[in-house]
Amino acid sequence: MKDSFSAPIPEVPHDWEAIKLGEVCSVENGCPFESRYFNEEDGLPLVRVRDVNAGVSKTFYSGPYEDRYLIANGDLLIGMDGEFHVRKWTAGKALLNQRVCRLVPNIKRFDKDFLAYAVRAPLSHIEAHTPYTTVKHISARQILAIPLPYPPLDEQRLIAAVLSAVQKAIERQERLIVLTAELRKALMHKLFSEGTHGEPLRQTEIGRVPESWRVVSIRQECIDCAFGPRFGSKEYVLEGAITTLRTTDMDDDGRIDYTHAPRANLDPARFASHFLRIGDIVVSRSGTCGIASVFEGYERPVLPGAFLIRLRMRNAVWPQYLRHYLNSAQGRARTALIAQGAIQKNISGTRLQNFLVPLPQYREQVAIAGAIDNVARVAALNQQRKRALEGLFRTLLQQFMTGQVRVRDLDLSALGEREQELVGAM
C-alpha cells in the first residue's frame, strides 16, 4: 500500500538545516512474537503499541527471542498504529513487539533527547492527516522521511535540557495530583467514620459512627424535595434568560460547570417553585446516580433538569457536609444500593428521602466539610499549575523547534525560579 505524505518541511533559522530523520537516524522494527507465549507474569515485559504512551507493559513474553529485539531505558520508541506516540522508555529491560519501532540516532550528529522532542509535532501532523478505515498506520519509510530542524549539536542539547526540565516539573505535578487525590479519599473515609473529636464509636444500621452522631433519614431533615421540571426542547434558545442544570454539568465531586448548560425561554411564574436557591442540594437520579451538588448562586436564574432531585434542607444540616457525604466512597456505595433498573439505573425521590446519613452537630459538619474543601482547593491548584506547565512546554517546544526563540539567548538561571513558581512548594 502506498504511504501517505510526510510532515511539512520546517522553517528554520539561517544557521540551521532542515534534514530528513533518515539522514541522522535508523529505525528498528519490533518482532511479531507468538501470542501463545503471552502471559501476565512470566518472562520479559512485551512492549506493544498501547504500552508506548502508557510507559509500562503489563504483558509478558516467555518464548524464544533474538537479542536485537531487547530494549533498555533511554531507547526511543514510536507506536506505529492508532496514535503515533513517541516515548523515551524508562521501565527497564523489555522486548519490542511488532508495530512498535526504535529510533537509533547517530549521537555524533543528533542528540537523543532533542530527537524525542523534535519528532513530536511531525508525528502529530502525520497522524492528523492519515486516512484510515479502522486504525491509522505509519510505516518505517514515512518515519525516516520526517523532516526535522537540525541545529548545531550543542544547541540541540541545550534545547533538550530546558524542555526536559519543564517536562520533569509536569511529571512532579502529576504525582502531586495523584497523592492529593489519595489523601482526599483517605481523609473523607476517616472523617465520615470517626469524626473530628476522637470520640468512641457505636454500631448503627449504616456502620460505626461517633457516639454523639445521629443517624437520620434525609426526609427527617428535609423541608422540600422535588424533581426538576420537564419542558419541551423548543424552549431552549441561545439567549434564553433561564439556565437549566443537567447531570452532565456536574462532575463526580459535585462541582458545577455552567459553561455548556443550556438556556431556556420560559415563563418564570410557571416554574417559580422550581428555581434553585442558594444552599439547595441537587442529586442526580439517573445515569451516574447519587452525585450531589450544592447550588451556590449564579448570574441567571437556574432550574434543575428533570433528571435531578432538589433537596432543601433544614438549618440543622450544612449543605456542603451532605454533598460531601453523598459523594464519598461510603455514600456512593450506599446510594448504588437504592438505584433501580436493569439497563438504566434510577433513584426514586422516595428512596432518596428514606436514605440514612450520619449527622454530627452542625459545627462539626462545617468543620468536616471545610477540611475536605481545603484539600479540594489544593487539588484544583495542582491542576491549574499542571495546565500552566503544559502550556509553557507547548510554547517552548514550538518556539525552540522553529528557532523563534534561541535557547542560547535565554537566562536559564530563571528557569528554576519559574518552575518553583508554577509547581509550588508542597
Q: Picking from 152-166, 253-267, 386-400, which range would have the lowest pLDDT averaged per residue?
A: 253-267
336 and 231 inside one domain: yes
Residue 405 grid cell = 526563540
d(C-alpha 6, C-alpha 84), whole Å: 13
Average pLDDT for residues 42-64, to the nearest whole number? Answer: 97
Q: Whose CA is closest to 61, among 34, 43, 35, 41? A: 43
Average pLDDT for residues 248-267, to the nearest whole number? Answer: 92
- pTM: predicted TM-score of the whole model, two decimal places: 0.84
Residue 295 grid cell = 447550588
Average pLDDT for residues 274-280, to the nearest whole number? Answer: 97
Structural domain contains residue 197: no
pLDDT score recorded for residue 416: 55
Judged against a pLDDT cut of 80, whether residue 105 lies above it is answered with yes
**Last residue within a domain, chosen from 324, 359, 394:** 359
22 and 140 inside one domain: yes
> The dihedral of CA 376, 381, 386, 387: what is its sign?
positive
**Helices in 195-233 by DSSP H: which ranges?**
none
89 and 173 inside one domain: no
218 and 355 inside one domain: yes
Q: 122 falls in which pLDDT band (50, 70, 90)?
A: very high
Structural domain contains residue 2: no
234 and 307 inside one domain: yes
142 and 263 inside one domain: no
Q: How many domains does the chain have?
A: 3
Asked if residue 276 lies in contact with residue 282, where contact means CB atoms within 8 angstroms, the answer is yes
Could you report the per-residue pLDDT of 193-248, keeping only the tens digit for each? 999 999 999 999 999 999 999 999 999 999 999 999 887 666 665 568 899 999 99
pLDDT score recorded for residue 237: 59
3-state secondary structure (DSSP) of residue 344: coil
- Phi-psi category of 310—alpha, beta or left, where left has phi over 0 and alpha has psi -120 to 50? beta
pLDDT score recorded for residue 426: 44
303 and 367 inside one domain: no
Domain that holds residue 268: 214-359
Could you report the per-residue pLDDT of 143-169, keeping only the tens digit for each? 999 999 999 999 999 999 999 999 999
158 and 111 inside one domain: no
Structural domain contains residue 190: no
pLDDT score recorded for residue 419: 53
Amino acid at 38: F
> The dihedral of CA 29, 34, 37, 38: what is its sign?
positive
Structural domain contains residue 419: yes
Judged against a pLDDT cut of 90, whether residue 190 lies above it is answered with yes
Half-sphere exposure of 232 (CA within 13 A, CB side): 2
Query: Where residue 134 sits, what CATH number does that domain have?
Result: 3.90.220.20
Structural domain contains residue 249: yes
Q: Whose CA is closest to 356, among 213, 253, 247? A: 213
Q: Picking from 20-29, 252-261, 319-328, 334-343, which range would have the lowest pLDDT averaged per residue?
A: 334-343
pLDDT score recorded for residue 341: 86
What would the DSSP string read from start to end of 260-276? T--EE---GGGGGGGS-
pLDDT score recorded for residue 1: 42
Asked if residue 337 lies in contact with residue 347, where contact means CB atoms within 8 angstroms, the answer is no
For 395, phi then psi, to 5°, come to -65, -50
Average pLDDT for residues 127-145, to the nearest whole number? Answer: 93
pLDDT score recorded for residue 230: 83
301 and 404 inside one domain: no
Query: Buried b / exposed e across 237-247, counting CB within 10 Å, b at 16+?
Result: eeeeebbbbbb
**Last residue within a domain, chosen from 323, 341, 359:** 359
106 and 224 inside one domain: no
